[in-house]
Structures are given as structure tokens and as C-alpha cells.
A and B are shown apart, each in its own frame.
Chain A
Amino acid sequence: MATSSERSPPPFPDSEDQDVLDSEEVGGRESDEDDDGGGDDLLFVNPSNPPLTKMDTTLPPASQPSDVLMEPPSDLMNDPLIEPFSSLTENKPTSKIVSEPSDDFVDLTNNLADSPEDAAESVLADVAIDTTEIPLDEPSDDFVDIFGGETEAPREEVVIANVTVKAAAAADKSEVTSDVTDPPGDLKTGSDFEQEANETATDSIIDLSDDLLSSNAQKPPLASDQFVDPLVDFLSDAPPAADAKIPSRATVDLFEDEGNDLFTEPRQTKSAKQQQKSLFGEADEDLFGEPLGATTKKPVIKEPKGKPVPTKAARDVSNMGGPLQDGYTAEPADIFSEEAVTTVPSIKKTSAVNSKTNGVHSEEDTDIFAATVELSLDSPQEERKKGVPAVPSASAPSVSAATSLAKPQSASLEELDDDEEEEEEEEEEQEDKFDISISVKDPEKIGDGMNAYMAYKVTTQTPLPMFRNKTFTVRRRFSDFLGLYEKLSEKHGPNGFIVPPPPEKSILGMTKVKVGKEDSSSADFVERRRAALERYLQRIVHHPSLLQDPDVREFLEREELPRAVGTQALSGAGFLKMINKATDAVSKMTIKMNESDVWFEEKLQEVESADQQFRKLHVLVESLVVHRKELSLNTASFAKSTAMLGSAEDNTALSRALSQLAEVEDKMEQLHQDQATNDTFNFAELIADYIRLLGSVRGSFDHRMKAWQRWQDAQAALQKKRETEAKLLWANKPDKLQLVKEEIAEWEVKVTQYERDFDRVTATVRKEVVRFDKEKARNFKREIINYLECLLQSQQQLIKYWEAFLPEAKAIA
């Protein structure tokens, strides 16, 4: 226990819980215990995930392997979500189903949550169980297995234990079929354990297990001991099973879409991106974190190594589980027995599998991937084999169920994703996870005179099922962009989200455009603004929570947008003033608020100094641009002058050389000009963006401060009421006393509420700032690379020009 506590930072689970909740809260949800009535996709996460995390935390006391259990609770949560998301993106057929699944899902969750005790006998209940089972079953399985594994081989070396656990986990997945059958027993044991360990285990968990039990009641609960062995065997079976033929097209499709694609593709893309080291260290965690997430049972596996393999398998299985389960429930016992039979003979294979996993660890990434892919494929295939009979009939509904599951998960996924990022200080190419790209193009002046405005074509490309089409284009005017920001910041700002700000209104720039001067400065202005708007939208859609906002969707999708009003307040100086005001308020409030959180204190300081530096940098880069443009102009005039000099020169060769020099200088001028553009767009604009963004970051700090203030005020009010109560008590005025007591109760509720709000906002801000930092680093890296690349190129051009000139100079006689 001691070691385990050392290894796992205690605050993790809680904060994670908080985070998850917060991120979901966007729609407006409640705490863990509450059932969500809302039909929001996000809700999904609440019922299933929170309990799980709780389970994790509660587990440690139950058994020695606490390390395993405690370690990555947060990861677990995150990962499952991620995977489904990716699977969704791959799944084209899903999009149609999208709408239904969420509904079903909500119902299901409701059922589960609301009527946990009811043995859900009805068909609907069954369905619900099936769908929910996917996430829930596996976890429970793993869970049980873990216990089994632990109990079985407690004396064995840790490594071994891990292996077995892993194998078990893998086996669980591979045996989705067996899941159905096993779960009852597992769950029971699991719940027993839990109860033993902790009375406080969340109701929901128990409920879930109850549900499962009830639905699976017919199946004979198995002893946990027995479990372990068969599971291991199953795992070993997997490889041979790979040979199994694909039974029917329908199943194949199902599998390919959901199973294979899901994990193989996401995996590979990820692997490609990540460096080798990261695979083992952090990437590793990700990889398996995701699969585990699917199972939500990550704690089972202690070490990151080898996890990828089983986890993937697990994933597949879990995905498969949705469709397959229907069939399984019908004849679970048989399947199970089948499995057992096949598995028993091949005990040796377990070792092979183990070795494989080990090999994976030691080998390079590519190998790892290959290995993982193999395994993952294997297990699904086995599933297929089993599922063959059952699948055809069940396929249609099950698919929809599965997709529906995946879908809601995807929503919450991204948020979780963030958490995960937070934990790993590793940077990933996160963008690639967002399968959405936005471009703002073709700025066009509409209207004449002072009523003219610029309209931009906003084109979105995305396979995300939340959008009606894959590619769509709308026309938006500048004020629409501002309006979107208004709405978003109103909605999400108070919750601590960093809402990316649009470029400021520029009266000067726009007036020039309006007046219709087709000079370079107005073209420059329009282009700058267009690029800024594009980056602005990209930031929004790459923000997992903001992407989910209906206003964003409407902005991107809807043909006609109601005219944004009240954006005038944002115009030019007004906007700046607003930011300044907010900044002032923050600084004022910091004085009042004695910051208890060192992290925030430091961050605020960091943000402030970064803001200062960025402003300085911006001035410098702007002056660089000016100087570069000057240089370009001067070079041009020198070139002209040299050409004149060349024409005046009476020595033919020298005259020739001079005019050559003029040409070289002309090219130089172009180079300098390009470089100035490069300075502007790759560098100056980026910095300007970040100055604006830092304003938003401060804004989020400000909102946190406000939440704190509200909480403090409520506390003060409560205090006052209590004093009044005491006075009344003294004065012995029972009639008034009752009233005051009511008020006190009211305020107590408020204080709790506000405190919770504050904690929530704090967590969100924290998460957002970390995300922001990551984004910033990545952004800067990318831009700097671009920038240097341009410089490099122009340098090489320069060499070419001068080298061409050299013989000319030498030819002067």
C-alpha cells in the first residue's frame, strides 16, 4: 500500500472526476449521484464513468495490487471516450444512426440509474443493458479478473502477475461472448469486493451490477478462481482463431467498420505521429489508455508495457460486444463452454502471447504496432467466429446500438482527451484527432459606401456525424464572427473556458476597404483579417467543448444566420477597452482574493509576463516588417539606380555587369518582399493572435475570480443570517426565527452550490490553461518551422542569384 500511495498521486481521481464532470457540464449537468434527465450526448458519460472512477479509488483497500488499480484511473476514463470517437469518424454508416443512438442511450442510462433495483425484464431493459454493457461489462470483467489474478498468484512476481492480468484482460475482450455469461459472476464478485472494501461505493455501480445480474440471471456465476484460467486460455486461443474464416458478409462489415477500423486505423495514425520513445512512455499510456478506456478498467494493468496488446484486443472485443451480445445472451452458456474447450488444450500459447507482449515492449514502435494490430485482429476474428450464428439476426439493431454508444462517447471523448493531455506532459498531434478542417476564403465586398461589408466563404470539411454533410460552405460576414464569439463567451466564459477571440474590428482598415481603395494596404488588411478569421474558427472547432456548441454548428452549417446584433460594442477601441477593463478587474480582484492555489498564482504571473513579452515582440516584429519593406523598397530603387549607372557606363563589360547587378538586386527585392510577407503572416499574426488569446486566458481567470467572489459573498451572507438567528434566539422571537432558519438553509445550499461552482470553474480553467499552453507550444513550433523554412529557401535563392552574378563580375575586363 505504501508504495502504491507513493506511485499514485492522491488528488488524481478526484480532480479527474471533477474534470470529467466539468467538461460535461457544458450542457448543464449535475454531480455524480444525480441522474441526468437531459438528452444531451454528454450525459452519457456521467452515469457510467463516475461510478467507475469511484470503483477504482475504492478498490485499493481491497487488495494488494492497489498499484495497478490506483495508477491510471484518469486515463481509463479518458481513453474509452477517445476510442469511440475515432471509430465514429471512421464509421461512415454511423452518421445516419447517430440521432437514434443517443436517445436510446439516454433511455438506457436512465433506466439503469433510475431503476437499478428493478430486474429489468422488459425488452427495452435488455437492450439497454446490452448497450450499456459494452462499457460496463468489460470493466467489470477486468475487474473480476484482476481480483482473480491477484488472488491466484499473489505470491508470484509482479511481472508475472501483470502478464496474467493482461492476458486476462485480453481474454475478457476476446471472449465478449463469455462476457455476457461471465459478467454476472464477475460482477458479483466485484461488487462483493467493493462492498467489503468500502461501503461507500457508489450506488450506481452497484446498480449497474445489479442490472447486469438481473439480466444475466440465468447464467451461472462462476468462481473467480476458475475465471482466471479460462481467460488466459482464451487469450492464447486468439492467435489460432485468426485463421478462422469470416463467416458472413454482414458480420464482416460490422467488424471491419467498427472493430478493425476502430483500432487499427486510429492506432496506426497515432503511431506514425508519435515518436518511438513516446510509444513506450507516454504514447504507451495513450495507446493502452484508449483501449482500456473502452473497457474503463484500466487499473487492472499495472505496467504500460504489454498493455497495448491486450487493450486493443479488449477494445475490439468491447466494440464487437455491442452487436454480438444479442446473440450471446441467447446461448451464453454454450459459447462459454465452447471457449473453454478450445482454450484448454492450448495452454502453451498463453506463454507465446505473453512473450509476444514482452517482445512488443522491447522492440521498436513499428513492431509494436504490428504486434498490436495482429493481436487485435485476432481477437475480433475469434469473436466473429462465435458470433456468426447470432450476428445475422441481431446485426441491425446491435449495430445501431453500438454506434449510438460510440457517438455519445465521442462527444465526451474529446474532453477526456484533454484530461489525458493534461496528465501526460507529452505533446501529441492532437489536431489530427479532430477530423474537421475549416477554411475561410474569398473575401468579398458586399454593398457600397459606408454600408459595405466583407463577406467570407466559410467551408467546413468533416466526417463528423454531428454535421449533416461532409463538406459545406456558408457565407458569413465579419459581424457574424463577432456574434459567434459573443454567444460563446457568454455561454462558456463563466464556466472558465478560454474562448478564442476573433480579430478586432478595425475602423481604419475597414474604412479604407469601404472607400474602395484598391491599394496594397487594404488588400493586405483584408488578407490579414481573412487569415485571422480562419485561425479563429479553427481554434474554436479544435476546442472539444466548443465544437459541441449548437451555435458553432449553426454558424458553420446554417444557410442564413440571423443578423448578429450588439457587435458594435466590440468594435475597435471598444473591444480593446473591454479587454483592458477585464484585465483591470482581474488585477483588482487578485488583490482582494488571497490566492490559495499556488498553481494559479504562478500561472497568472506567467500569463501576465507572457502578455507583456508578446506585446513587446509584436512591436518588434512589426518594426521588422516595416524595416524589411523599407529594405525591399530601397533595394528596388538601388536596382533601378544601378541599372541607370550601367547604362551610363561606357565600358561595355562593366556596363553589362552593372545591369546584371541591377537584376540581382531586383530579385533581392522580391526576396525581401516575400520575407516581409513571411514575417507578417507567419510571425506577426501569430503573435497578435496570442496577444488576443492571452486576453481570453485572463478573462477565464477573471471568471474564476468572480465565482470565488460569489462564493465568498454567499458565505458572508450566511454568516450574517446566522448572527441574526442568534440574536433572535436571544430575543426569543420564534415567528421570525423560523423565517431566518429557512433563509439559513437556503443560504447554506447556495454556499455549497457556489463553492462547487468555484471548484468546477477552477478545474476547468486549469484544464483550459494547460490545453492552451500545449496548443501554444505546438502552434509556435509549427510556425517557427515554417518561418525558418521560408528563410532557408530565400537564403538558397540568394546564393543562386549571386552565383549567377559572379561570372559576370569576373568577365569585366
Chain B
Amino acid sequence: LYKLMEEGPLCTFQMRSVSVDLNHDASLLIDIPDALCERDKVKFTVHTKTTLSSFQKPDFSVPRQHEDFIWLHDTLVETEDYAGLIIPPVPPKPDFESPREKMHKLGEGEATMTKEEYTKMKQELEAEYLAVFKKTVQVHEVFLQRLSSHPILSKDRNFQIFLEYDQDLTVRRKNAKEMFGGFFKNMVKSADEVLISGIKEVDDFFEQEKTFLLDYYSKIKDSTAKAEKMTRSHKNIADDYIHISATLNTLSADDSTANKKHCGGYYMSSFVFLQKVEGRVASDQELKLTELLRYYMRDIQAAKDLLYRRARALVDYENSNKALDKARLKSRDIPQAEEHQKQCLQKFDKLSESGKKELTSFKGRRVVAFRKNLIEMAELEIKHAKVSSPIQPRDFYTLIHVYNM
């Protein structure tokens, strides 16, 4: 497993569930067919298939790292023209820490465990690691797919470079100053948010959207946290099952009574079985529900950012109005003020217009994604329960039969 983690496997994934439903535009198709994990770096192979003339070739692949995705996201956010758009949320940093840490712990505790127990724990960790890996690839893919399916963002020059440039992008890592700057900017932004939250909204639609998104965001954030906890509990239980089944196994092996051994094997196996189901329930729940909530939490954050930008524009516009008034009063610099006011108004109008469109489409997208994921989750839950059921009752009756002998 260490090997797996350090050097990383070449993992190929079939199409996975996507948290977003995209309008499939055949002109630009992007996927990440495989990824390579190198220490804490993950190299994604980004594969593009396109009919667009802006690309030199119709079919090509490039290696990209997580940092490249961040760079792409940041440039998009900073592009003035896209202020009125919901920029797809940046994928979270790949986190292999927790399985790695667990692996470490497992290695330490190897002496206290039976061989079988250890093997099983290892398998379980490998599976967990794989799931995290899969998830990471998926969120990165989704990010690109959302960009590609967006009418405006898909035409972005940087996006095209990201897809096409076959060398390492060698994106400069953010230095400490920039990191601090980013942090400072965030602070300013949130302070600003508070300041401008008092602004009287001129448009009912946005007023409603704002209330809704704020409310929704806090709720979904809560749900996400709860869902994560729930998933973790499931995982804990799955782990407990592993240990219990291993101990039961040892016990029944120790036991001299032949009969007991027999039955010990039985109940041991049923525990192992349950453990597997429990583990799968956990990882599926993680994938379907938690991921969905997490994604939309970030998406809503992006939508909120849009609202913020619009509000900012509104404030700017109002300020420019005031400036114009002042200028008129002083009869000085009136043309500049007028020009500025006009610009602000234009910007605000543009933002409002595209924002309205974006938010509406966001709503539709969200509903569709929830539907898809909820259905899938319910089906998986049923499947898991059923997978265990047909086997278990049989097991169960065998057990009873054996017991009655």
C-alpha cells in the first residue's frame, strides 16, 4: 500500500457519476481518463476531443496538475468580463492525508493484529484510498466539463491553452506574499460583503436570489458537515466489523469444540460480509450524497460570489452617481464622472443580465443534479441491502439448521 501511495498507480476510471448535469456539446468533449499519483502530486491526463477550429488538433491529451487547475480558476475569476458569470468552483486539493495517516497507524499497530486482520484492514485502506483518488479525479474532470459546456467560458483563451499546451504549464506556485494577499483580499471581500449587504436592492429577482442563496448556503453547509460525519460513522462501523470478525475468527480457531468452529466460521463470514456492505454504503454515500452536497456548497459559494460582484457593481454605480452629482454641483469633471457613471451602469446592467441568466440555469442544474444523485443513492442503498439479503437469509437458515443439530 505504501508503494501505491508513494509511487501511485496508473488508474483508469470508467465514467463516474457526475455531480453536475451538463448540456452535452459535442464540439468540445473533455475527460480525464487516468491520473498518476506521485507523492503528494497528482498528475491528471486531460484528454480533449473537439471539432472547434480554434484547436490545432481534434484529439489530444496533456498532463496537468492540481495547481494548474487552480491557476485556470483564478485567471477566470480575475477576468473582468466574466464577472457576471458563475465561475465553476475550483476542485478541492487532493487529500490523501487521511488514508495515508491511517496506513501509518495500521503499520504501527501491525503487531497487535492478526495477520488476517491486518490484511483486511490494508485492503480496506486501499479501497478507501482508491475511492479518494477516484473522487479527486472526478471533481477535476467536472470542473473542466463545466467550463467546456459553458458558452462563454469554453471560448476562454486560458482555458484553451490549459487544454492544448502539451508541455508542463509550470504554473508558478503562489508565493507567501501572494498567499497573504489572497487572504487579505478575502478579508476585504467579506468585510465589503457585510458593508454592501445593507444596500437596497433595486431588483426583486436579485433580492430574492440573495436571500435564498444565503439561506441555502448555510443550510447546505450544515448538511454537508452532517453528511460527512455520518459517512465517517459508517466507516468507523465498517472498521469495527473488520476487527470484530477477525477476533471472532481467532476465537473460533482457538476453540477446541469442532462444532463451535464450524459455526464460528459461519458467523465470522457473515460479519465479514456485513463489513463489506457497511464499507460500501459508506463510500457510496460519500460519493453520491456528500459529494453532491459538497459540490453544491461550493457552487453556491460561486453563485454568491457572483451576487457579490453584482452588488459591488451596484455600489460602484451608486457611488458613481453620487460622484456625478458632486461633480455637477461643483461643475467640475462632469464628463469624466458621467463617463464613469455610465460605465458603472453598463457594467451593473451587464452583470445583472448575465447574472440572472446564470442563476436561473444554476437552479435548473442543481435540481437536475440532485435528482440524479438522490435516485442513484436510493438505488445503491437498496442494492446494498439486497445484495446482502439474498445471501444472508440463506446463510441464516443454514446457521439455524446447524444450530439445531
Contacts and interface: CB of A to CB of B under 8 A. Distances in A.
Interface of A: 273-275, 277-278, 425, 427, 602, 606, 609-610, 613-614, 616-617, 620-621, 623-624, 627-628, 630-631, 634-635, 637-638, 640-642, 644-645, 648-651, 653-654, 657-658, 661, 773-774, 776-777, 780-782, 784-785, 788-789, 791-792, 795-796, 798-799, 802-803, 805-806, 809-810, 812-813
A777 B374 contact: no
A628 B237 CA distance: 7
A621 B244 contact: yes
A767 to B, nearest CB: 15
Contacts of A613: 247, 250-251, 254
B229 to A, nearest CB: 4
Interface stretch (B43-51, B158-166, B327-335, B392-400): B392-400
Nearest to A773: B257
Interface string B371-405: 10011001101100110110011011001100111
A641 B259 contact: no
A644 B219 contact: yes
Interface in B294-345: none
A595 to B, nearest CB: 17
B233 interface: yes
B205 interface: no
B259 A624 contact: no
Given A657-B370, A812-B374, 15 more contacts: A275-B405, A606-B255, A617-B247, A631-B230, A631-B234, A641-B219, A644-B223, A645-B219, A654-B371, A780-B263, A792-B389, A799-B385, A805-B374, A809-B371, A813-B367
B226 A624 contact: no
A635 B381 contact: no
A788 B392 CA distance: 9
B237 A645 contact: no
Contacts of B241: 624
Contacts of A791: 274, 392
Given A620-B240, A634-B230, A780-B260, A648 B216 contact: yes
6 residue pairs, one from A and one from B, having the closest CB atoms: A631-B233, A638-B226, A812-B371, A809-B374, A624-B240, A777-B260
Contacts of B405: 274-275, 277-278, 427
B143 interface: no
A651 B364 CA distance: 9
A630 B250 CA distance: 28
A810 B212 CA distance: 24
A638 B230 contact: yes
Interface in B247-266: 247-248, 250-251, 254-260, 263
B240 A802 contact: no
A805 B259 CA distance: 43
A650 B363 contact: yes
Contacts of B222: 641, 644-645
B243 interface: yes
B237 A795 contact: no
A620 B274 CA distance: 16
Given A654-B367, A792-B393, A809-B378, A637 B226 contact: yes
Contacts of B219: 641, 644-645, 648
B154 interface: no
Given A624-B237, A788-B270, A610 B378 contact: no
A638 B227 contact: yes
A789 B393 CA distance: 9
B257 A777 contact: yes
A648 B212 contact: yes
A806 B382 contact: yes
Contacts of B363: 650-651
B215 interface: yes
B104 to A, nearest CB: 20
Nearest to B396: A788
Interface residues of B, number: 59
Contacts of B244: 617, 620-621, 624
B190 interface: no
Given A624-B240, A777-B257, A806-B382, A792 B229 contact: no
Contacts of A627: 233, 236-237, 240
A798 B381 contact: yes
A638 B223 contact: yes
A642 B232 CA distance: 17
Nearest to A799: B385
Q: Which of B230, B232, B366 has the most CB of A within 10 A?
A: B230
A645 B224 CA distance: 11
Contact of A777 (B248, B259, B270, B404): B259
B404 to A, nearest CB: 6
Contacts of B378: 802-803, 805-806, 809
A781 B267 CA distance: 9
Given A634-B233, A641-B219, A641-B222, A796 B385 contact: yes
Contacts of A661: 374
Interface string B16-33: 000000000000000000
Q: Is the interface of B mostly helix, strand, loop or mixed?
A: helix
14 contacts: A427-B405, A602-B256, A610-B254, A613-B247, A620-B243, A621-B240, A627-B233, A631-B234, A634-B233, A638-B230, A788-B267, A798-B385, A802-B381, A812-B371
A777 B251 CA distance: 11
Contacts of B240: 620-621, 623-624, 627
A795 B389 contact: yes
Contacts of B395: 788
A197 B243 CA distance: 62
A728 B326 CA distance: 135
B250 to A, nearest CB: 6
B208 to A, nearest CB: 9
B405 to A, nearest CB: 4
Of A274, A606, A637, A802, the most chain B CB neighbours within 10 A belong to A802
A738 B272 CA distance: 74
A661 B399 CA distance: 35
A615 to B, nearest CB: 10
Contacts of A792: 389, 392-393, 396
A784 B233 contact: no
Contacts of A427: 259, 405
A631 B405 CA distance: 38
B376 to A, nearest CB: 9
B393 to A, nearest CB: 6
B106 interface: no
Contacts of B70: none
B215 A617 contact: no
Interface string B208-225: 000010011001101100
Nearest to A429: B404
Contacts of A425: 257-259
Contact of B399 (A637, A642, A777, A788): A788
Contacts of A781: 263, 399, 403
A88 B227 CA distance: 62
Nearest to B261: A777
A691 to B, nearest CB: 12
Contact of A635 (B230, B258, B371, B399): B230
B244 to A, nearest CB: 5
A803 B403 CA distance: 34
A795 B233 contact: no
Nearest to A275: B405
A810 B400 contact: no
Contacts of A812: 367, 370-371, 374
A650 B378 CA distance: 22
Contact of A649 (B216, B255, B381, B404): B216
A642 B375 CA distance: 16
Contacts of B371: 654, 657, 809-810, 812
Contacts of A777: 255, 257, 259-260, 263
A640 B267 CA distance: 36
Nearest to B263: A781
A637 B224 CA distance: 11
A274 B236 CA distance: 41
